[in-house]
Chain A
Amino acid sequence: MFRLNRELIKYPFYIIMHPFNGFWDLKYDRTQRNNVIISFVILFLLVITNILSSEYSGFLVNLINPNDMNSLMEIAYVVVPVLFWCVANWSLTTLMDGEGKFVDIFTSTCFALVPMIVINFPWIWLSKVISLQETAFYYFFSSFAVFWSLFLLFVGNMTIHQFSPSKTIATILLTVVAMGFIAFICLLFFSLTQQMISFVNVVYKELALRR
């Protein structure tokens, strides 16, 4: 059991260092159940990292109005984009002969987010002991994390769907557009629902107050 757990912990680190082999293993060699569990753990850790970052980062790199900080919203900021990305990507790639299943897309996306935890988490504490001149390092590393994650996302997508690089890039761009559409439709849906509810409410009030 201990061996297994250790292997599970080591695996995300292996994937971020050796993405081509790693994502291949993710799709074909590894148990799906474990992958999904690790993915959720990664998402959870990312949420925790973001919350801690906005709460405890050094003053020099963290000018957030404490009134505007909401830990629950931080969860949404992580989960919603991932969900949108997966749904949009899945919808597109099924049409574009991608070989990935939804689970594959979800797990590969989550594994690609690992650098954002591994790099940003130590920097929460390091940012407390740097000066204004040294914040360049902080910004360098956080953008490095983003680019690393983007690269992993790219490799993951390519491996999962068995696409060529150019096709992957096209898919990713289209996915971003599709995410925009999804967001728009969601907004439309919610505002229409709201309108409908308020309409019913008003009609009810009219009737109730008529007597």
Chain B
Amino acid sequence: MRKSKHTWRALLLTALCCLIGVSLGGTLAYADNGASSYNYSFWGRTVAAPAAYKATTVLDGKMLGIGALKDPTDLHVTTDNQIYVLDSGNNRIVVFDSQFKLIRTIDSFMRDGKQETFNNPQGLFVTPQKQLIIADTGNQRVVELDANLSVIKVIDPPQSDLLNTNFKFQPVRVIADQAHRIYVMSIGVFDGFMEFNQNGEFTSFIGANRVKVDPTELLWKRLSTRAQRSQMVMFTPTEFTNLDINDEGFIYATNGDVWGDTIRKLNAQGNDILRRTGYFNPKGDIRYTTEQGPGRLIDIDVTDSEMYSVLDGARGRVFTYNGDGHFMYMFGGIGNQLGQFKMPVAIERVGDDFLVLDKAFGEITVFKSTEYGRTLNEATRSYYRGDEEKAFELYNKTINMNANLEYAYSGIGKALLRKGEYKEAMHYFEESYDRGNYSKAFLLYRKQVLREHFPTIMTGIVVLVLAAFAARVLWKRKKLSRIRGVSIES
């Protein structure tokens, strides 16, 4: 009796193991495709997507041969793929080539014959001419050096009627445009970015965020007395969290808003001209639990073909969008595994690879594109260039790898529309819920069909009209004759 019970148990155990094995095998095959990555469907559901990027290496200061990085805060990659890392805690800038071979370390510069150093610099920008612009936060200044590290100019705290008397200049992020205007993001400035002209003079603010008021806060404020109100927090516009500039000179900026548009593309007037024609406004995660709250975007990186990536500091995720605002792919996360971070602060692209800088670990994680990521990037580029043949082919390849990527169907549809295959184009536009283009394709298709069948349709109508007319005449005659017949009978 006892023994039989034992065998039963053993059998049950094996069966259970088999079941678990089978189910594991099933999910493994799926996870192999990178189910950790996701996209959002048209309906706002989270759908699995293959990983577009995979972390390949993690580099820390020791591996790079420069000693540990201490609280690094910013990264910059030039067009010829030189990598500049701002090692804030060590007050230095480290320059690598694309293979992460050390080129040089910059920790001081000569100014008026004296050697000067940085004090907790937070922001870094390198112009295409290799001029370095450093937000030297601790020294309350912005330093611009040329390629040989001689000073071009130093921007000290500006004097202006636009600024408060107790204004404290704390630059944290900098960029420069082709005309050598410098835009500075400074702590405690709510009026937007500070714009400095070529001579380093403060000219104006640009692109202020609007004040967002929480309705319940407003209600409390209305109900409270003046004394209470003075104790409350003032409604101020949210500060920007980061900025980048693309090769056309548009500033891309992120801000720390809880709702509203957290990513903006500013033109020279400071107006937001970001295209938001995707299924959702680009803002990182659109689904989150109320306890978690929305993400907080803290860095942005623009690349060619209007693609841009944002870094969500709260969840450690990097989201990439195309110029139309369609969500392309995401990667990253908070954690201890390869490809996850503790406190990511900056992202940059090196070619098609991504670098993510982790402030807490002092590490740089290198992400390389997968087959899927490469195809999607190339498809987006071809589409942006207007090379629809190529885009058609690449988008087809993309949806073969990820059938959930709805906006890719629209790309295929547009190529088909150009080719004159309206019916197929309609089908693809329907797949991507693109009503505008569907309608365009449909109108052309309708015209085509009507033109083809015009003789048949016209003949049909004429025959019908004639038949109706004949029937009417016959019916009347019959009625008449019946009445006549009746009259004769009576």
Are A132 and B43 touching (Cβ within 8 A)?
no
Query: B484 within 8 Å of A by Cβ?
Result: no
A142 to chain B, nearest CB (A): 17
Q: Which residues on B sit within 8 Å (CB–CB) of A183?
A: none
Query: A133 within 8 Å of B by Cβ?
Result: yes
Contacts A59-B430, A65-B43; is A131 near B443 (CB within 8 Å)?
Answer: yes
Q: Which of B43, B430, B438, B446 contacts A129 (CB 8 A)?
A: B446
Per the bound structure, the CA–CA distance linking A153 and B43 in Å amounts to: 36
B76 to chain A, nearest CB (A): 44
Task: Kindly report which residue of chain B lies nearest to residue A133, judged by CB atoms.
Answer: B439
Are A131 and B439 touching (Cβ within 8 A)?
yes
Query: B435 within 8 Å of A by Cβ?
Result: yes
Task: Kindly report which residue of chain A lies nearest to residue B439, judged by CB atoms.
Answer: A132
Per the bound structure, the CA–CA distance linking A60 and B446 in Å amounts to: 15
Q: Which residues on B sit within 8 Å (CB–CB) of A207?
A: none
Q: Which of A36-66 contact B (CB under 8 A)?
A: 59-60, 63, 65
Q: Which residues on B sit within 8 Å (CB–CB) of A129?
A: 446
Per the bound structure, the CA–CA distance linking A67 and B44 in Å amounts to: 13
B444 to chain A, nearest CB (A): 10
Per the bound structure, the CA–CA distance linking A65 and B41 in Å amounts to: 11
Task: Kindly report which residue of chain A lies nearest to residue B444, judged by CB atoms.
Answer: A131
A57 to chain B, nearest CB (A): 13
Are A60 and B433 touching (Cβ within 8 A)?
no
A185 to chain B, nearest CB (A): 30
Are B446 and A132 touching (Cβ within 8 A)?
no
Task: Kindly report which residue of chain A lies nearest to residue B429, judged by CB atoms.
Answer: A59
Residue with the greatest number of chain A CB neighbours at <10 A, chosen from B43, B433, B446: B43
Q: Which residues on B sit within 8 Å (CB–CB) of A59?
A: 430, 435, 438
Q: Which residues on A sit within 8 Å (CB–CB) of B435?
A: 59-60, 63, 132
Task: Kindly report which residue of chain A lies nearest to residue B430, judged by CB atoms.
Answer: A59
Q: Which residues on A sit within 8 Å (CB–CB) of B439?
A: 60, 131-133
Query: B442 within 8 Å of A by Cβ?
Result: yes
Contact with B along A51-93 (1 / 0, CB 8 A): 0000000011001010100000000000000000000000000
Q: Which of B417-449 contact A (CB under 8 A)?
A: 430, 433, 435-436, 438-439, 442-443, 446
Per the bound structure, the CA–CA distance linking A131 and B439 in Å amounts to: 5
Q: Which size bracket describes the interface of B in this complex?
A: 10 to 19
Q: Which of B430, B433, B436 contacts A132 (CB 8 A)?
A: B436
A80 to chain B, nearest CB (A): 26
A76 to chain B, nearest CB (A): 22
Contact with A along B435-466 (1 / 0, CB 8 A): 11011001100100000000000000000000
B46 to chain A, nearest CB (A): 14
Task: Kindly report which residue of chain A lies nearest to residue B434, judged by CB atoms.
Answer: A59
Q: Which residues on A sit within 8 Å (CB–CB) of B438?
A: 59-60, 132
Residue with the greatest number of chain B CB neighbours at <10 A, chosen from A59, A129, A133: A59
Are B442 and A131 touching (Cβ within 8 A)?
yes
Per the bound structure, the CA–CA distance linking A59 and B436 in Å amounts to: 11
Q: Which of A125-153 contact B (CB under 8 A)?
A: 129, 131-133
Per the bound structure, the CA–CA distance linking A78 and B289 in Å amounts to: 35
Q: Which residues on B sit within 8 Å (CB–CB) of A132?
A: 435-436, 438-439
B202 to chain A, nearest CB (A): 49
Residue with the greatest number of chain A CB neighbours at <10 A, chosen from B436, B442, B446: B442
Q: Which residues on B sit within 8 Å (CB–CB) of A65?
A: 43
B137 to chain A, nearest CB (A): 49
Per the bound structure, the CA–CA distance linking A59 and B445 in Å amounts to: 15
A133 to chain B, nearest CB (A): 7
Q: Which residues on A sit within 8 Å (CB–CB) of B430?
A: 59
Per the bound structure, the CA–CA distance linking A51 and B433 in Å amounts to: 21
Q: Which residues on A sit within 8 Å (CB–CB) of B433?
A: 63
Per the bound structure, the CA–CA distance linking A129 and B449 in Å amounts to: 12
Per the bound structure, the CA–CA distance linking A59 and B430 in Å amounts to: 7
Task: Kindly report which residue of chain A lies nearest to residue B43, judged by CB atoms.
Answer: A65
Task: Kindly report which residue of chain A lies nearest to residue B436, judged by CB atoms.
Answer: A132
Per the bound structure, the CA–CA distance linking A63 and B43 in Å amounts to: 10
A40 to chain B, nearest CB (A): 36
Q: Which residues on A sit within 8 Å (CB–CB) of B442?
A: 60, 131
Contact with B along A100-134 (1 / 0, CB 8 A): 00000000000000000000000000000101110
Contact with A along B263-289 (1 / 0, CB 8 A): 000000000000000000000000000
Per the bound structure, the CA–CA distance linking A63 and B279 in Å amounts to: 13
Contact with B along A174-191 (1 / 0, CB 8 A): 000000000000000000
Interfacial residues, chain B to chain A (CB-CB below 8 A): 43, 430, 433, 435-436, 438-439, 442-443, 446
Query: What are 19 sample pairs from A and B whose C-beta atoms fall under 8 A apart?
Result: A59-B430, A59-B435, A59-B438, A60-B435, A60-B438, A60-B439, A60-B442, A63-B433, A63-B435, A65-B43, A67-B43, A129-B446, A131-B439, A131-B442, A131-B443, A131-B446, A132-B436, A132-B438, A133-B439
Interfacial residues, chain A to chain B (CB-CB below 8 A): 59-60, 63, 65, 67, 129, 131-133
Closest 10 CB pairs of A and B: A132-B439, A131-B439, A131-B443, A65-B43, A59-B430, A60-B435, A131-B442, A132-B435, A60-B439, A59-B438
List 7 additional contacts besides A60-B439, A131-B439, A131-B446; criterion CB under 8 Å: A59-B430, A59-B435, A60-B435, A60-B438, A129-B446, A131-B442, A132-B436
